[in-house]
Amino acid sequence: MSDVDELTALVARALEEDLGAGDVTTTATVVADARARALITQKAPGAIYGLRAAETAFSLLDPQARIERLVGEGSWREDGGPVMSVQGNARALLSAERTALNFLAHLSGVATMAARAVSEVQGTGANVLDTRKTTPGLRALEKAAVAAGGAVNHRAGLYDAILIKENHIAAAGGIAQAVGRALAAAPELADTLEVEVRDAREIDEALAAGARRLLLDNMDEPQLRAAVAQVAGRAELEASGGVTLQTLGELAQTGVEWISMGALTHSAPALDLSLTLEVLP
């Protein structure tokens, strides 16, 4: 299935969830052949993402709708402004409104959070990563929004990289055992192998086992600086755990290459957008 097919199916499910047996209010109040123009407007500073999802919502209910993008995907606008114009059947525009805005506001919020995070680490050499803490069913869209905001996508799922965390280590019987088994089972993913560590001893164990990247779990700034000095370039380092926009700057100054931030997707506030409708003669 193509990305277009997957997006269409996802938006169709969202519309079905909202419409159910039909939009009773719109059907009761708007004549069937009425035509209208809908204008979506950005009302707060931020980055826009999710135009294709919004377009799909309108097109599924009115295949003849005329849609015009008034801003590019990923564009940051401090003063907001017009985002999209749609001309078509008035009933279809009203029935698609909430689904289109839900996708667009949420994904723009993710892109906005990512852009703000990137600005906090600018000039430090650190990169901001997303995580798997995504809305079920929306991971691909949310990660695309992260990338549009300028941050970096981490692994897409459990299948494309090896990340050995503390529970894997406990189940395997130790860091050396976990790393050895992972390398033997999936040598093609050796370059992705990362091990979560909590202290200096575990850092040494992971390095000795051949880990090329270390996840520094919930370490404060002094601990991160000590870890950077201890590793001395022998592995890439990722800071993780409770990272916020307010703490990003100081974490980035410690010398780590990566900072992962679950809040990019699980806590990004929706961007303020509105839709106004103008009935056409």
| Average pLDDT of span 136-164 | 97
Show the CA angle centred on residue 259, arms to residues 258 and 263, nearest 5°: 145
Compute the residue count for the chain.
Answer: 281
Q: Can you give the pLDDT at residue 27?
A: 97
**Annotated catalytic residue 143:** no
Q: What one-character-per-residue DSSP string does the chain give?
A: --HHHHHHHHHHHHHHHHHTT--HHHHHHS-TT-EEEEEEEE-SSEE---HHHHHHHHHHH-TT-EEEESS-TT-EESS-EEEEEEEEEHHHHHHHHHHHHHHHHHHHHHHHHHHHHHHHHTTSS-EEE--S---TT-HHHHHHHHHHTT-B---SSSSSS-EE-HHHHHHHTSHHHHHHHHHHH-GGGGGG-EEEE-SHHHHHHHHHHT-SEEEEET--HHHHHHHHHHHTTSSEEEEESS--HHHHHHHHTTT-SEEE-THHHHSPPPP-EEEEEEEE-
In the chain, what are the domain boundaries?
3-115+268-280, 152-260
Residues facing 152 on adjacent strands: 129
135 close to 270: Cβ distance less than 8 angstroms = no
Confidence check: pLDDT of 216 > 60? yes
- From 37, 69, 77, 98, the catalytic residue: 98
Show the CA angle centred on residue 256, arms to residues 170 and 151, nearest 5°: 95
| Average pLDDT of span 169-198 | 96
107 close to 134: Cβ distance less than 8 angstroms = no
Quote the CATH superfamily of domain 152-260.
Answer: Aldolase class I (3.20.20.70)
Q: Note the pLDDT tens digit of each residue in 91-112.
A: 999 999 999 999 999 999 999 9
Q: What one-character-per-residue DSSP string does 196-210 give?
A: EE-SHHHHHHHHHHT
Mean pLDDT value across the chain: 97
CATH of domain 3-115+268-280: 3.90.1170.20
Q: Note the pLDDT tens digit of each residue in 59-76.
A: 999 999 999 999 999 999
| Average pLDDT of span 227-246 | 96
- From 55, 97, 196, 202, the catalytic residue: 196
| Average pLDDT of span 32-36 | 97
Cβ partners under 8 Å of residue 149, min gap 6:
47, 49, 74, 110, 111, 112, 113, 114, 115, 117, 118, 264
- With both helix axes pointing from N to C terminus, report the angle between 245-252 and 90-121 in degrees, rounded to the nearest 10: 30
pLDDT band at residue 1 under the 50/70/90 scheme: low
Cα(246)–Cα(67) distance, integer angstroms: 39
* Pairing, β 35-42 against β 273-280: antiparallel
- From 217, 236, 257, 272, the catalytic residue: 217
* Pairing, β 66-69 against β 81-89: antiparallel
- From 43, 165, 201, 234, the catalytic residue: 165
Cα(159)–Cα(90) distance, integer angstroms: 44
Confidence check: pLDDT of 2 > 80? no
Tokens describing residue 239: 């800071």
pLDDT band at residue 80 under the 50/70/90 scheme: very high
**Annotated catalytic residue 98:** yes
- From 37, 69, 77, 133, the catalytic residue: 133
